[in-house]
């Protein structure tokens, strides 16, 4: 797999039926490695190991209902009361982070209404903080440490 703009992660990889699988520490099962999954696993480890996010408050592949269809958020951070606080959307490294990607995560946020959105393709990472009271948003220079976000 391609090298990412993320710290190395101690991923548990295995081979089965000619495919590579990775152990997802959040879902607690082996997942087939795709380019997007490669980014997800590295980013989750980055959040937990480098940024201090509690693994117990993160979840992968969260379903939500939007306009009578079921969508899946790649990763969601919850607060201690099980309320969504951050949505993270991943793309494969060869997929550019475009307005279309931001539109996708914004649609998810219509339902979840979280204060933080992150988009990453493993090479580029964008983090946005939303202030609903002022009707403003701000792109942050980097992904904040867990202690810096108000959860």
Count the domains in the chain. 1
For residue 88, being part of any structural domain is answered with yes
For residue 81, being part of any structural domain is answered with yes
The whole-angstrom separation of Cα 140 and Cα 79 is 20
User: What is residue 67's predicted lDDT score, i.e. its pLDDT?
Assistant: 82
Which range marks the domain in which residue 91 is found? 34-148
Q: What is the CATH number of the domain that holds 39?
A: 3.90.1570.30
Mean pLDDT (the chain, rounded): 94
Determine the 3-state secondary structure of 113 from DSSP.
coil
For residue 20, being part of any structural domain is answered with no
Can you give the C-alpha Rg of the chain in angstroms?
Answer: 15
Taking residues 53-77, what's their average pLDDT?
Answer: 91
For residue 126, being part of any structural domain is answered with yes
Query: Using one digit for the tens of pLDDT, what is the confidence trace for 70-116?
Result: 889 999 999 999 999 999 999 999 999 999 999 989 999 989 999 99
Global confidence as pTM: 0.94
Residue 150's pLDDT band (cuts 50, 70, 90): confident
For residue 71, being part of any structural domain is answered with yes
CB 5 within 8 A of CB 121: no
């Amino acid at each position: 797999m391609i090298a990412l703009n993320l710290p190395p992660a101690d991923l548990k990889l295995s081979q089965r039926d000619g495919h590579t699988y990775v152990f997802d520490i959040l879902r607690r099962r082996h997942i087939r490695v795709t380019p997007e999954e490669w980014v997800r696993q590295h980013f989750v480890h980055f959040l937990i190991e480098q940024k201090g996010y509690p693994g117990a408050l993160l979840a992968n592949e969260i379903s939500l209902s939007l306009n009578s269809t079921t969508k899946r958020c790649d990763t969601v951070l919850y607060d201690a009361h099980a309320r969504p606080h951050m949505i993270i959307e991943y793309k494969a490294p060869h997929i550019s982070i475009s307005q279309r990607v931001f539109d996708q995560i914004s649609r998810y946020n219509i339902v979840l209404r979280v204060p933080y959105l992150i988009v990453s393709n493993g090479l580029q990472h964008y983090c946005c903080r939303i202030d609903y009271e002022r009707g403003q948003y701000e792109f942050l220079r980097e992904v904040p440490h867990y202690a810096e976000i108000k959860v």
